[in-house]
Amino acid sequence: MDARSVLGKFIRKVREQRGLSQEKLAVASDITYQYLSGLENGRENFTIGVLESLVTALGWRVPQFVGAAFAEVVAPDCPRINPKLFRRTVPLPPPMTFDHLEAALNETQRILHQISASLIATGARALPKYIQGNNYSGLVSNMLCDAFSQLTPFKHNSHQRYPDLIAEDPATKQQVGVEVKATIQIGKGGESHNGHGGWHVVACFQIDENNGAVEFIHIMMAILNGHAEPNSDWTYIGSKENAATGSRRTETYNTNATGTTKLRDGSVYLDGDKVKYQRWKQSRIGKCPEHSIFFKLTDPKLIRPIDR
């Protein structure tokens, strides 16, 4: 395995996914496009400084970039985010960009795939076979949250409480918080222990039963009203006991109909072949935003307006 060729090919792939020409990436990395062409084709050698400049210009960090490049060779069946499925009119929490989001989603898929691939290579089963559904969704949430912290301006909240991630909005100089949840239940609304307001991300995924790979197919983002705010987007669920096991779940809040609709309006990434959203119910205050997946759906049976 020629490391020079592996890294060069991956640089070209990411550059093309970003829609960058060799000239633009070369300028951003302070090298010539002829040198970049040689790197991408495996003819030229990298220096650490050049590799770091290229990776930074592509919106990655060096450890994650190198790991992803070699994962493509060792485990080529690892799912990748399709940039064409991003709905780029949907608002993102500032200062997040679509490149940031794509990098974090791909990194989460890569790490989980590598873990399962390593287990299978030793004769064991894929990772999801060992972890129950809700616990596995929690693991995916944690991995995605860490990928955001590694690859975007949003960093782990050092106070270890709400929100999961924080960043500074360069326009307002105010702190922006993001709460992250993952679920295998496609189209599910939000869930929170405290029903806080602010930005919430719900990442819906599916699992490949053959190799345990996780693939994100629906990402929702929206600003929700907290449980104590006017027009709250949350319903208090409380603590429920499992009749079969006697165990009691943690007290929690779920999004109500308007909160779930807000999240679905903010479907920033959507695989329409795998997510059949056309018959999902809506419940909203005010008009449907133009960035919503429902904007062109005019069937009145789908909409339950709320007059408050």
Domain boundaries, the chain: 1-74, 78-278
Judge if 1-74 and 78-278 fold alike in CATH terms: no
Of the listed ranges 215-229, 231-245, 261-275, the least confidently predicted one is: 231-245
Residue the block writes with tokens 């060096």 = 62
pLDDT value at position 242?
Answer: 61
32, 92, 105, 180, 237 from 259: Cα distances, Å: 50, 17, 24, 15, 14
Question: Cα 245 from chain centroid?
Answer: 33
Amino acid at 10: F
CATH code assigned to 1-74? 1.10.260.40
Q: Determine contact, residues 301/307, Cβ cutoff 8 Å.
A: no
Sign of CA dihedral 238, 205, 200, 229: negative
Digit-coded pLDDT (tens) for 54-93: 999 998 889 878 877 876 666 667 889 999 999 999 999 9
Of all residues in the chain, what percent carry a pLDDT higher than 70?
89
pLDDT value at position 9?
Answer: 93
Flag whether pLDDT at 308 surpasses 50.
no
More confident residue, 203 or 307: 203
Question: Cα 228 from chain centroid?
Answer: 28
More confident residue, 161 or 176: 176
User: What would the two tokens of residue 225 be?
Assistant: 């009203």
CATH code assigned to 78-278? 3.40.600
**φ and ψ of 41, to 5 deg:** -95, 5
Flag whether pLDDT at 196 surpasses 60.
yes
